[in-house]
Structure 1
Amino acid sequence: MEKQMTLYQLDTGRGGIIDSLTASGRLRRRLLDLGFIPGALVTCERQSLFNDPKAYAIRGAMIALRRDEAKLIKIMPIK
C-alpha cells in the first residue's frame, strides 16, 4: 500500500482516495461543498505551466485548486 500524500503531490493522470482535510473554517466548508470529502475518488486531470493551479476530476466535476488549497487535502494514492 502506498503512503499518504497531499493532493498537490498527485501527478497528472493519477488518482487517489481522499483521506482527510486539514483546512478549517470557510475554506474547509468550501472544499467539502465542492466534493472533496473523505472517501471520494479524485484524479489529477490537468496542470498549468508552473503546476499552479491543477485541475482535478471529482464526483463528475472538474475543479481547479491552487497549490495552497491542494496541500490541505490528504489522499491515499491508487494505482
Structure 2
Amino acid sequence: ILIDDLAQEHEAVAHGAPMVEAARIDGDLAALACGDSAPRRHEGERLGFVFRGMALADLAAAALVLDAARAQGLGRRLPV
C-alpha cells in the first residue's frame, strides 16, 4: 500500500488514528516519484493507495483515471 505522506501517517499513528496497519505500508508518493518505492513487486499484484487529503485531490485522481480509461477504450457508463 502506498500512502500520500509517510510523515503524516506517522503523526496519525501517534494520535491513535492510523489509516492502515504500518506493516502494510510500502511507501509514499514522494518515494514513488523518486524511484525509491516500486509500484508493484510482481505483475499480478493489486495496487492500493491511501490518501488522507482533501476531496479535491480525489477528484483530480478520478479525472486522470477516467482520461486514461477513455484513451484505452476501457470502462462503461453506468446509470445514475
Answer 1 or 2: higher relative contact order, Cα 8 Å, separation at least 6. 1
TM over 0.5: no
* Bigger CA radius of gyration: 2
TM-score (norm 2): 0.30
Judging by fraction of residues, say which structure has more helix. Answer: 2
Judging by fraction of residues, say which structure has more strand. Answer: 1
